[in-house]
């Protein structure tokens, strides 16, 4: 407007000029892609993000309003090469032209791939992937929880495999959406809900194969943290063998496919029965080996321990043998009792999982084995007792005191008590002691005779 009457110049106010310049910029550049490096990225409490795009020759201010930032899959950072789609406008209060961004994506890598790598790096630094925090699966789960779609092929495959391997296993399905908006929140909520039940032993979380976009719910941070917080061991079974998600890294075990997850979660009933039978065979072998070692020790003691002088040594050895016999009996009883407790624990574990008829059959098969073990232990103890009695009889027969009982005597020279075996070794007038079956005689030698000729 003219400053003075008669002045024909066009004079603009700052506001008018900025408004007009902004309109020209928006008309000239209504929708453009701009390539550059992000710098000075800053998000305010309003949710709006302000930054610059720059290259070797210059830079431009940019703003990403909160409504547009909600669709971002990755986290923009300083130094990231990016492509921004928006319109050129002018911020009139500062007279500064800027790019009003509607979309932004990383340059060189897709947004999803970058988001995947950023979240993986973040959770790895927090230790969520550490092997030390991963828990083993239960050997014999009674209830398996499954988090997946109720209508897809995944749940059918899982039920088919579980039914074939262990028909009476309990399966709880918590149905969820496995792709699309809100799927990640549903999956995380389902994991938390199954944890609150208190009767689930292991979880399978997964879906079938697809593109990275299809599997993206299992790359969301909310799902990763729900798996990490689960007190129940989690098997991740997402996609095909070549697909990897964040859920795979956090889970206690990754299965290449949902069907493989079902195979990993429980051992087949036939394999379990075979393992129990093998344990029973090992038990019988262990008891036989224990009895054999005890038998060899007893035989060795019987050979080494010989009586060399008098009734005292004979009685000591007899008491020692009696003690060994008692120890052998107790060891056999203890070994049988320990094996019996193992069998009872195994039978108890199987009773929770097998049909009653099969359980009774196994118990009937184990009972004869237990009876044979008890009988074998008793026979071994009886045989050892008979061997001890025979050894005692032989030792009694070899004892010098036994010879005295048959009417013979032993002559010993006083005072050294040296046994006299030759008449020439004693002179007339020497004092001797004659040992009889009962008591002894003190005598003086009146004379000797030479040995009679034969």
How many CB atoms lie under 10 A from the CB of residue 343? Answer: 21
The region that residue 450 occupies, defined by phi over 0 for left and psi between -120 and 50 for alpha, beta otherwise, is beta
Q: What is the pLDDT of residues 347-392, one digit of tens each?
A: 566 555 556 666 577 677 778 877 888 888 888 888 888 888 887 7
* DSSP SS3 for 340: helix
At 251, is the pLDDT very low, low, confident or very high (cuts 50, 70, 90)?
very high
Which tokens belong to 45? Answer: 């409490």
Q: Is the peptide bond before 415 cis (omega within 30 degrees of 0)?
A: yes
Which pLDDT does position 308 carry in this prediction? 47
Q: What is the pLDDT of residues 150-199, one digit of tens each?
A: 988 899 999 999 888 877 789 999 999 998 889 999 999 999 999 999 89
Where do the domains of the chain lie? Answer: 14-108, 116-265, 269-398, 405-444
Residue with structure tokens 């194969």?
Answer: 209
DSSP assignments along 259-326, one per residue = HHHHHHHS--HHHHHHHHHHHHHHHHHHHHHHHHHHHHHHHHHHHH----SHHHHHHHHHHHHHHHHH
How many CB atoms lie under 10 A from the CB of residue 380? Answer: 20
CA distances from 244 to 46, 157, 240 (A): 36, 20, 8
Of 77, 78, 76, 99, which Cα lies nearest the Cα of 87? 99
Q: Please tell me the distance from the alpha carbon of residue 309 to that of residue 318, in angstroms, as a whole number.
A: 14
Mean pLDDT within 124-143: 89
Cβ 61 vs Cβ 5: under 8 Å: no
User: Which residues are bridge partners to 172 per DSSP?
Assistant: 145
Which pLDDT does position 293 carry in this prediction? 80
The region that residue 306 occupies, defined by phi over 0 for left and psi between -120 and 50 for alpha, beta otherwise, is beta
Which tokens belong to 378? Answer: 């008793």
For helices 269-304 and 310-353, give the axis angle rounded to 10 degrees.
180
Cβ 327 vs Cβ 293: under 8 Å: no
DSSP 166: -
Burial class (CB in 10 A: 0-12, 13-18, 19+), 191: buried
CA distances from 406 to 307, 393, 396 (A): 19, 16, 13
Q: What is the pLDDT of residues 63-100, one digit of tens each?
A: 888 887 776 777 777 777 778 888 887 777 777 888 88
Cα angle vertex 189, ends 172, 158, to 5°? 30
Q: In terms of pTM, does the model score above 0.85? A: no
Which tokens belong to 254? Answer: 């990754």
Cα angle vertex 212, ends 207, 214, to 5°? 45
CA distances from 178 to 106, 115, 191, 253, 434 (A): 26, 19, 13, 19, 107
3-state helix, strand, coil in the chain (%, to 5): 50, 20, 30
Looking only at Cα atoms, what is the longest distance across the chain? Answer: 183
What whole-number percentage of the chain has pLDDT above 70?
A: 83
CATH superfamily entry for domain 116-265: Succinyl-CoA synthetase domains (3.40.50.261)
The matching CATH number, chosen from 3.40.50.300, 2.40.50.140, 2.120.10.90, 3.40.50.11440, for 14-108 is 2.40.50.140
Q: What is the pLDDT of residues 18-45, one digit of tens each?
A: 777 777 777 777 788 888 888 888 888 8
Cβ 214 vs Cβ 240: under 8 Å: no
User: Which residues are bridge partners to 253 per DSSP?
Assistant: 235
Q: What is the pLDDT of residues 418-451, one digit of tens each?
A: 888 888 888 888 888 888 878 888 888 888 888 7
Q: Please tell me the distance from the alpha carbon of residue 61 to that of residue 228, in angstroms, as a whole number.
A: 40
Q: What contacts 24+ positions apart, CB below 8 Å, involve 294-298?
A: 294/328, 294/331, 294/332, 294/380, 294/384, 295/380, 295/384, 297/324, 298/324, 298/328, 298/384, 298/387, 298/388
How many CB atoms lie under 10 A from the CB of residue 87? Answer: 17
């Amino acid at each position: 407007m003219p400053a003075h009457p008669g002045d024909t110049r066009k004079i603009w106010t700052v506001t008018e000029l900025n408004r007009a310049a902004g309109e020209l910029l928006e008309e000239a550049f209504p929708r453009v892609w701009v390539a550059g490096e992000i710098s000075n990225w800053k998000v305010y409490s309003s949710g709006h993000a302000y930054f610059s795009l720059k290259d070797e020759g210059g830079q431009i201010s940019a703003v990403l309003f909160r409504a547009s930032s909600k669709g971002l899959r990755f986290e923009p950072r300083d130094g990231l090469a990016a492509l921004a789609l928006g319109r050129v406008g002018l911020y009139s209060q500062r007279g500064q032209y800027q790019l009003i961004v509607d979309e932004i994506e990383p340059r060189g890598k897709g947004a999803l791939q970058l988001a995947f790598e950023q979240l993986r790096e973040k959770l790895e630094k927090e230790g969520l992937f550490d092997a030390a925090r991963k828990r083993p699966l239960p050997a014999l789960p009674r209830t398996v929880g499954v988090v997946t779609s109720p209508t897809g092929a995944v749940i059918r495959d899982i039920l088919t495999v579980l039914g074939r391997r262990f028909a009476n296993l309990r399966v709880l399905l918590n149905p969820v959406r496995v792709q699309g908006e809100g799927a990640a929140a549903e999956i995380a909520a389902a994991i938390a809900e199954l944890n609150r039940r208190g009767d689930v032993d292991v979880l399978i979380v997964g879906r079938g194969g697809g593109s990275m976009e299809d599997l993206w719910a299992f790359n969301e941070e909310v799902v990763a943290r729900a798996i990490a917080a689960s007190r129940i061991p989690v098997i991740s079974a997402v996609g095909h063998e070549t697909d990897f998600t964040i859920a795979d890294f956090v889970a206690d075990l990754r299965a290449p496919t949902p069907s493989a997850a079902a195979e990993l979660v429980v051992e087949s009933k036939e394999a379990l029965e075979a393992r129990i039978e093998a344990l029973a065979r090992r038990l019988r072998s262990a008891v036989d080996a224990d009895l054999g070692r005890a038998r060899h020790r007893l035989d060795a003691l019987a050979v080494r321990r010989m009586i060399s002088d008098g009734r005292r040594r004979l009685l000591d050895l007899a008491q020692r043998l009696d003690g060994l016999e008692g120890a052998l009996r107790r060891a056999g009883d203890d070994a049988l009792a320990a094996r019996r407790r193992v069998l009872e624990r195994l039978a108890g574990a199987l009773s929770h999982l097998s049909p009653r008829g099969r359980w009774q059959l196994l118990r009937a098969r184990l009972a004869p084995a237990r009876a044979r073990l008890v009988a074998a232990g008793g026979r071994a103890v009886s045989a050892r007792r008979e061997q001890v009695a025979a050894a005692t009889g032989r030792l009694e027969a070899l004892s010098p005191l036994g010879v005295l009982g048959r009417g013979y005597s032993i002559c010993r020279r006083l005072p050294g008590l040296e046994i006299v075996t030759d008449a020439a070794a004693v002179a007339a007038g020497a004092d001797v002691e004659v040992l009889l079956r009962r008591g002894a005689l003190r005598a003086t030698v009146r004379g000797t005779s030479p040995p009679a000729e034969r």
